[in-house]
Amino acid sequence: MSLRNYLDKLRPNFEEGGKLHAFKSVYDGFDTFLYVPHETSKSGTSIHDAIDSKRIMSMVVIALIPAMLFGMYNIGYQNAMAAGKLGEATFMGMFLYGAIALLPKIVVSYLVGLGIEFAWAQWKGEEIQEGYLVSGFLIPLIVPVSLPLWMLALAVAFAVIFTKEIFGGTGMNIFNVALAARAFLFFSYPGSMTGDTIWVEKEQIFGLGYTLPDGFTMATPLGEIAQGAAANASLYDMIVGLIPGSVGETSVIAIAIGAIILIWTNIASWKTMLSVFLGGGAMALLFQSTGATPLQWYEHIVLGGFCFGAVFMATDPVTSARTACGKWFYGFLIGAMAVIIRVMNPGYPEGMMLAILFGNMVAPLIDYCVVQSNINKRAKRAKM
């Protein structure tokens, strides 16, 4: 209550006529992040519950924490393995090394993204929107650990301004903001997003970790297959996540924990998640039967960003299909297209990013077709 009372005492300074009225949107942003807004509807009939969009975003961040924590450990693990020092490296040492490597990226992501959000809200005289709470956490988890901070800042600025704000802010964007940042990096700085030298942090940090020699390479399993080599990882490593890759995308177990949290709290659609896996599995099985891919169908599911995209990206309520039937078509399309891109385009061994962005583009069309089909069916029944 003391915090609530303190915020109430500060409020007059930010209201019209107060000394800090120019920063009213900043005050409202912090106040509504800490407490559920007390405003009520002035007209009409409305039903409210205890959760709002900020609480939904906070729950998604909680669901992402297992993937983030494992990603921190895997950064240190990959560094120690590359140096041939796994035998002498400790769990805490590897985790701290990864945490120190990842935290600056999270800080930069939030500073740049929220800074633009605050400035935009002040300029427009509107409330600060909450959508970047999740995007700011997602972006550092879907990029390589060695990505320079200035590139990350540039990608965040591009994604927030050109993918979100110019469309009207949270709830109005067509494409997933985090994936737009990754796409910007992929097409603008491909050397820092693909290749054999970007998946391992090669320098010591505050005396932790090991300095690797210049020219050291370590491709992801999908990258090795694209180059015509066999994947140098067991199924166990693929599921646990002890493989090179983007920070938060490697551990199927950590991602599954997040999926359970999202489904249990009714934050994300299980229909979308399941249909992505069904589409990817069916297409991978088809390619496997024709000999077009050396991977087993289930290996396509557990490798790369497939699981992470299915759980945290494809289920974005703003950019995904919203009709119950449309979610099945939307998810199946994403899963199938991700595997098609992987197999048919050896220059781009991942595929999930482009598949979801394409799904975002056609999601409104899918919903329109589903709604129109229902309207036509009801019209026929009415005539009968």
Indicate which CATH number applies to the domain containing 136.
Answer: 1.10.3430
Please tell me whether residues 110 and 19 are part of one structural domain. no
Counting Cα atoms < 13 Å in the Cβ hemisphere of 309 gives 35
Triad 265, 252, 54: Cα angle to 5°: 30
> How many other C-beta atoms lie within 10 A of the C-beta of residue 274?
17
Provide the residue range defining the domain that includes 20. Answer: 2-30
Please tell me whether residues 243 and 339 are part of one structural domain. yes
Q: Is residue 42 domain-resident?
A: no
Residue keyed to tokens 């078509």: 329
Please tell me whether residues 79 and 185 are part of one structural domain. yes
Task: Return d(Cα 60, Cα 265) in angstroms, integer.
Answer: 10
Please tell me whether residues 18 and 152 are part of one structural domain. no
Q: Is residue 152 domain-resident?
A: yes
Q: How confident is the model at residue 69 (pLDDT cuts 50, 70, 90)?
A: very high
Please tell me whether residues 106 and 253 are part of one structural domain. yes
CB 102 within 8 A of CB 145: yes
Please tell me whether residues 111 and 6 are part of one structural domain. no
* Residue 131 DSSP SS3: coil
83-121 pLDDT tens trace? 888 888 999 999 999 999 999 999 999 999 988 888 877
> How many other C-beta atoms lie within 10 A of the C-beta of residue 377?
10
Burial class (CB in 10 A: 0-12, 13-18, 19+), 114: middle
Q: Is residue 38 domain-resident?
A: no
Among 84-93, 207-216, 221-230, 332-341, name the one with the lowest average pLDDT: 221-230
Burial class (CB in 10 A: 0-12, 13-18, 19+), 196: middle
Q: Is residue 313 domain-resident?
A: yes
Task: Return d(Cα 243, Cα 263) in angstroms, integer.
Answer: 27
Locate 184 and state its tokens. Answer: 């910007």
Please tell me whether residues 6 and 78 are part of one structural domain. no
Q: Is residue 359 domain-resident?
A: yes
Q: How confident is the model at residue 47 (pLDDT cuts 50, 70, 90)?
A: low
Please tell me whether residues 25 and 151 are part of one structural domain. no
- The letter for the amino acid at 141 is L
Task: Return d(Cα 85, Cα 76) in angstroms, integer.
Answer: 11
Please tell me whether residues 200 and 291 are part of one structural domain. yes
Kindly report whether the global pTM for this prediction surpasses the value 0.85.
yes
Please tell me whether residues 247 and 318 are part of one structural domain. yes
- The letter for the amino acid at 274 is L
Please tell me whether residues 312 and 215 are part of one structural domain. yes
Please tell me whether residues 166 and 20 are part of one structural domain. no
